[in-house]
Amino acid sequence: MSMPRSASGWTMAVFGVLAAVMGLVGLAAPDAQLALLGLPNASGDRPEGDHTAVFLAASSMAALNMGVYYVLAALADWRPFFRWTVPFRLLTCTVFTLLVLAGTAPGAFLGVGLWEGLGAVATGLALRREKAPAASAQTA
């Protein structure tokens, strides 16, 4: 079985596995996923025209797909992809945090934002550390 070959690859693999698992939870047990986010159950008495279950299924499928992409990128040690994710994960962190601060999203979404932000920082720091020895070896 192949494993990530770098610290940055491991950060991507861990994030990918977590995203895929959460996507599976959202698809298999939507009420459990909603409870984690501090939202009311999708299977309860919902008003007509409420599309919570549909949006949860769509976002869960996106999380599952994204998780698989991240794991495959980690196994391929595809560092350009790792670099591309850092600013976009920081953007996601910012948006989710602002949604909570504005009162638009429940407080549990702050955890999602922090998860994205800390993952982006971990990946960015790992990439920087991996790049430093290569740069200093060229000047020696």
Phi/psi of residue 45, nearest 5 degrees: -70, 105
Looking at the predicted structure, is the pLDDT value of residue 140 above 80?
no
- List, for residues 3-32, the tens digit of each pLDDT value: 999 999 999 999 999 999 999 999 999 989
Instruction: Give the list of residues 6+ apart from residue 33 with CB closer than 8 angstroms, or none.
Output: 22, 25, 26, 56, 60
- List, for residues 113-129, the tens digit of each pLDDT value: 999 999 999 999 999 99
Looking at the predicted structure, is the pLDDT value of residue 109 above 60?
yes
pLDDT band at 139 (very low <50, low <70, confident <90, very high): low
The pLDDT of residue 17: 97
Give the three-state DSSP class for 78.
coil
Q: Could you tell me how far CA 31 lies from the centroid of its own chain?
A: 20
User: Helix, strand, coil proportions of the chain in percent (round to 5)?
Assistant: 75, 0, 25
The encoded tokens of residue 1 equal: 């079985």
pTM of the model: 0.85
Looking at the predicted structure, is the pLDDT value of residue 134 above 80?
no
The pLDDT of residue 79: 96
User: What mean pLDDT do residues 97-118 have?
Assistant: 93
For residue 36, the tally of other CB atoms under 10 A from its CB is 15
Q: Which of 27-31, 52-56, 88-92 has the lowest mean pLDDT?
A: 52-56
Tell me the average pLDDT of the chain: 90
